[in-house]
């Protein structure tokens, strides 16, 4: 299948383009799109989705959340499935994605890693089993990351909330306030060139369980996004995520 990559000049976009040029999983590059117009290359490049004039079977977006409307409009108007891997969307942008998924298949996940999908399942099981335990999520990323906490930390918290309905998120604890039992603490650390570490601590007075996932290279997200594009190929309109792919 032929794939268009939006945000193709970025760290993640470059990984996806490289894999498609190498025909990973038999997929190829249809077009590379980035606001910072890609330099001349031996494949089609565009500075805006509006200008894309080549056929493709799917679009993968690793750009900026402000591009969400353009990506979704492009997918709907071209009848193309979309893999939205970009994070940090506003509530309005999230609503836009949901609405568009009524017309085309959209895969949306803050973390394209299979390992993180598994971590989320384990976190949910642990939170459900250790009733009343305190839960804190700590994420660490490179010092260039714009959004905090990471979309993955929020995804993990949302998974846990499914078994802790009264959970209240507390971001970056500070000041004078005792921890309430229904809190999920969410903390962001920014340093160096770290690809992504997510740790969930579940603790009672007598014991603590620590679940940790560490991404060693950005390639795992690019690989996951290409697998998601393949997964969407025969799917009807709808909103899909890693859980759907893991359980398919």
Ligand X SMILES: NC(=O)c1ccc[n+]([C@@H]2O[C@H](COP(=O)([O-])OP(=O)(O)OC[C@H]3O[C@@H](n4cnc5c(N)ncnc54)[C@H](O)[C@@H]3O)[C@@H](O)[C@H]2O)c1
Which residues are part of the catalytic machinery? 141, 145
Stretch that binds ligand X, among 10-18, 73-81, 92-100, 172-180 (CB under 6 A): 10-18
Q: Single out the residue of 225, 228, 195 nearest to residue 13, CA to CA.
A: 225
- State the nearest-atom distance from the C-beta of 188 to ligand X, in Å: 12
- State the nearest-atom distance from the C-beta of 239 to ligand X, in Å: 15
Strands (E), 62-207: 82-84, 105-108, 134-141, 168-171, 183-190, 197-203
Query: Interface with ligand X includes 235 (CB under 6 A)?
Result: no
What are residue 44's DSSP bridge partners? Answer: none
* Closer CB to ligand X, 170 or 219, in the complex: 219
- State the nearest-atom distance from the C-beta of 40 to ligand X, in Å: 16
Find the residue with minimal CB distance to ligand X: 10
Query: Interface with ligand X includes 62 (CB under 6 A)?
Result: yes
Cα angle at 194 between 191 and 197, to 5 degrees? 105
Q: In what order do the strands lie in the sheet with 238-240?
A: 45-46, 28-33, 2-6, 58-61, 82-84, 105-108, 238-240
Interaction residues for ligand X, span 145-164 (CB under 6 A): none
Stretch that binds ligand X, among 86-94, 121-129, 181-189, 234-242 (CB under 6 A): 86-94
Interaction residues for ligand X, span 33-52 (CB under 6 A): 33-36
Question: Residues of 168-193 as b/e, b for ≥16 C-beta within 10 angstroms?
Answer: ebbeeeeeeeeeeeebbbbbbeeeee
Residue ranges binding ligand X (CB under 6 A): 6-7, 9-13, 33-36, 62-64, 66-67, 85-88, 109-112, 221
């Amino acid at each position: 299948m032929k794939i268009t990559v939006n945000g193709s000049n970025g760290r993640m976009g470059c990984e996806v383009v490289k894999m498609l040029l190498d025909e990973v999983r038999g997929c190829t590059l249809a077009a590379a799109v980035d606001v910072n117009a890609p330099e001349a290359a031996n494949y089609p490049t565009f500075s805006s989705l509006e200008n894309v004039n080549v056929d493709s079977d799917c679009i993968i977006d690793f750009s900026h959340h402000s591009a969400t409307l353009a990506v979704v409009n492009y997918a709907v108007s071209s009848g193309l499935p979309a893999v939205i891997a970009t994070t940090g969307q506003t509530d309005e942008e999230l609503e836009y994605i949901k609405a568009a998924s009524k017309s085309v298949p959209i895969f949306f996940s803050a973390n394209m890693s299979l390992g993180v999908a598994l971590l989320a399942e384990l976190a949910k099981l642990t939170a459900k089993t250790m009733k009343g335990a305190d839960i804190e999520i700590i994420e660490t990323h490179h010092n260039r990351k714009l959004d905090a906490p990471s979309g993955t930390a929020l995804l993990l918290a949302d998974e846990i909330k499914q078994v802790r309905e009264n959970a209240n998120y507390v971001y970056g604890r500070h000041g004078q306030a005792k921890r309430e039992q229904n809190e999920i603490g969410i903390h962001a650390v920014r340093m160096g060139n770290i690809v992504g570490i997510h740790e969930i601590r579940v603790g009672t007075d007598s014991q603590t369980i620590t679940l940790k996932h560490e991404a060693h290279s950005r390639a795992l997200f690019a690989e996951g996004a290409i697998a998601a594009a393949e997964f969407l190929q025969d799917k009807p309109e709808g909103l899909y995520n890693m859980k759907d792919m893991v359980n398919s």
